Amino acid sequence: MERQKDKILIVDDVELNRAILCELFAGDYEILEADNGKTSVELMEKYHDEIAIVLMDIVMPVMNGLEALEIMNAKGLTEKTPIFLITAESSNDEISKGFRLGVVDVILKPFNPDNICQRVNNIIELYRYRYKLEKLVQEQINKIEKQNEQLRNFNVAMIDTLSTIVEFRDCESGQHVQRIRQLTKIMLKEMGRQSPEYRLPDKTIEDISMAAALHDIGKIAIPDYILNKPGKLTEDEFAVMKEHTLYGCDILESIDSLKQNQEQYRYHYNICRWHHEKWDGSGYPDGLIGKEIPIYAQIFSLADCYDALTSVRCYKGAFSHEESVQMIEAGKCGMFNPELLQCFLKIAPILPDILQSDDGLPAVVYHYQHPHLERLNGKKCYSCDMDKNSRIARLLELEREKQKALFAMSGDIFFDFDVSKDTITFSDEYKNTFGEECLINNARAYLSNDVHIVRQDLAMLQSLHSTLSENNPGYIRDVRLINKLGEERWYRLHVNSIWDWERSGVMLSLVGRLFSIDKMKREIGQWKKQAESDTLTQLGNRAYGQRRLWEMLDELSQEKAAVMFLDVDNFKMVNDRHGHLFGDEVLCRIAGEINKQFRSDDIICRIGGDEFLIIMRNIKDQELPLMKADDLRHAIKKVGHEADVQVPLSVSVGVAFYPADGRDEETLLCKADKALYEAKKRGKNNCVIYSAELENEPFMSQITKAESE
């Protein structure tokens, strides 16, 4: 915090003049005196941050006033300190030179003490007011920059969330996107160094590398049995897999928040669509050739290829860095741009070390009462010159109208809570959204019962408010608000507290912004739901089942539960005899029958192929899973007859119980799998409950066996 300016420097070689001026201001300020220009420069160098104003004579020995001002200006000592010239000279040349040097006013000798006092105090208060405004403007600029960065981080977080969902569903490690983003950035910079044709601004490079995160978003629409198949895909399966580039573009088209920056959206779209195109035209989906493929999509494709080779995937192990580089150079992964390939080979030796390192609001209007005609710290402040004040008032009003127009265009809600007046002033959008007046009196009582904030969120905000301080002035939270139609919507709330810089610990106001994130919240929820759904049967998938099992184990205490693996016997024969389309239809009917047999709060999911996972909560009778398995055998047999599959369909079931057989997810799933294996070994169409004797039996996981087939 800058120290209060409480000194006046009086510079005059006549001691009587200095004495008169000292008498005028000694009650309110500490006085510094100099009898020549040289001494005044020395005092300014020492105290300029504390000097409120300088009263400077022109004609003095050693160094005159104008010479002293030239030196002060050269040293930057007068930028925030007003200078008065006090002189008997009436020469226009002298006075004009003084104004060119930054003098704010000229007082001619002999002077009127009352007149000087008024003019000096008015200028001091005007400078203080201007300094406050400059400080507030700078604070607002800093806050806007910080908030813009927070918004950008939020968009990055949303993109990372979507990409993480895809990686989780694709059984990736979670670091794939981070590595290719970093590698893309490195190669973009290196291509720019090698050729001016490819040189890009740093911001563009950041935007392109960020766009890398959603390159495989279309894999959300690819069935699990293809996406996570451990072996080589068939021709038909590969045709389905290739569609992920087009599905991804359709998904990007539906995310409105990405389209706000058209240039960045173009990078997202082109990388998503063309990251499997090849230099020789052998890629997909459009068979682009050579420079028809944007250079950044080519670079990303090479980065993706390198990371795929050096990473473990469900269908292969990881190649070493050296093996991967050799394979790319030899064209075993398709043809790349020769110029790009040379760039890659140049930086290849340093890639392992780099990729393994750790690297990788509209302004709110503040209302301040004008300081004229008031008292400051018990000292009299005189009215400023009305012409100057009228102009300032007009300019401030114009700025206020501009801000009001900006608020209206943004669609966001801004507010200013005046602590001393206990009032809140909202922007006009508040009335449009919540049907309330924009000026709220008795603000504390209003906030403690705010019917527009969901109760849990209101309690959270009240708790956060109690933690605000000068060192911790603000917070950002997502809250649920109820609009005038009674609809619950998500908003992001930015709050900043303004503190009195003259009185420590005194809060002046709370200012903030509310902007809707409801659509984005719902989009992320939909993508998460889609990522955890089996696209064929509309049941949950493996990821959904594992998450729900984790949640259940966290919640359970005395409750008993059952974990069941179900395998449809002979279903492979249905596909072989009638084809996959017919088989898929039958599998959907089987999934429907399984769903009918269980309670609404049981968890049912398809974990791949014809295998299902059932989690039954609150099991009172351990015979219940056996009864359900018996019902399922009859139901699935009936499906086979009705669909005329010409294959004897049945179901094998393995069951493990919580907590008797285990208290953690891995143990329960493993034991249920062993029971399923035993049921299959006994000739199928059986239900086996896990027992300790099964530990001595030779075992091969049914899921692993099914995936290997």
Q: Which residues are catalytic?
A: 610
Which of 561, 569, 613, 606 shows the shortest CA–CA distance to 588?
A: 606
Cα gap 145→141, rounded to integer Å = 6
Contacts of 62 (CB under 8 A, 6+ apart): 36, 37, 38, 39
Task: Answer for the pair 412, 429: CB distance below 8 angstroms, yes or no.
Answer: yes
Cα gap 551→544, rounded to integer Å = 11
Task: Answer for the pair 268, 211: CB distance below 8 angstroms, yes or no.
Answer: yes
Pairing of strands 507-516, 375-376: unpaired
Task: Answer for the pair 258, 156: CB distance below 8 angstroms, yes or no.
Answer: no
Buried/exposed code over 58-86 (b: 16+ C-beta within 10 A; e: otherwise): bebeebbbbebbbbbeeeebbebbbbbbb
Pairing of strands 474-482, 561-569: unpaired
Extract the tokens encoding 691.
């027992």
Q: What are the C-alpha distances in Å from 535 to residues 129, 553, 613?
A: 65, 27, 16
Pairing of strands 423-426, 413-418: antiparallel
Cα gap 150→143, rounded to integer Å = 10
Cα gap 208→186, rounded to integer Å = 12
Extract the tokens encoding 326.
């050799």
Cα gap 169→148, rounded to integer Å = 32
3-state secondary structure of 576: helix
Match 């992964």 to its residue by tokens: 333
Cα gap 547→165, rounded to integer Å = 13
Task: Answer for the pair 285, 292: CB distance below 8 angstroms, yes or no.
Answer: no
3-state secondary structure of 516: strand
Category of 331 on φ-ψ map: left (φ > 0), alpha (ψ -120 to 50) or beta: left
The amino acid present at 236, given as its one-letter code, is D
Cα gap 414→445, rounded to integer Å = 20
**How many CB atoms lie under 10 A from the CB of residue 438?**
15
Cα gap 684→654, rounded to integer Å = 11
DSSP string for residues in 599-647:
-TTSEEEEEETTEEEEEE-S-S-TTHHHHHHHHHHHHHHHHHHHHT--S
In terms of Cβ atoms closer than 10 Å to its own Cβ (0-12, 13-18, 19+), residue 306 is buried
Q: What are the C-alpha distances in Å from 246 to residues 167, 172, 266, 294, 296?
A: 18, 21, 15, 17, 18
Cα gap 425→418, rounded to integer Å = 8
No. of helices (H) and no. of strands (E), the chain: 26, 18
Cα gap 183→179, rounded to integer Å = 6
Q: What is the three-state SS of 301-358? A: HHHHHHHHHHCCECCECCCCHHHHHHHHHCCCCCCCCHHHHHHHHHHHHHHHHHHCCC
Match 């918004």 to its residue by tokens: 151
Cα gap 314→219, rounded to integer Å = 15
DSSP string for residues in 234-250:
PHHHHHHHHTHHHHHHH
Neighbouring-strand partners of residue 563: 615, 656
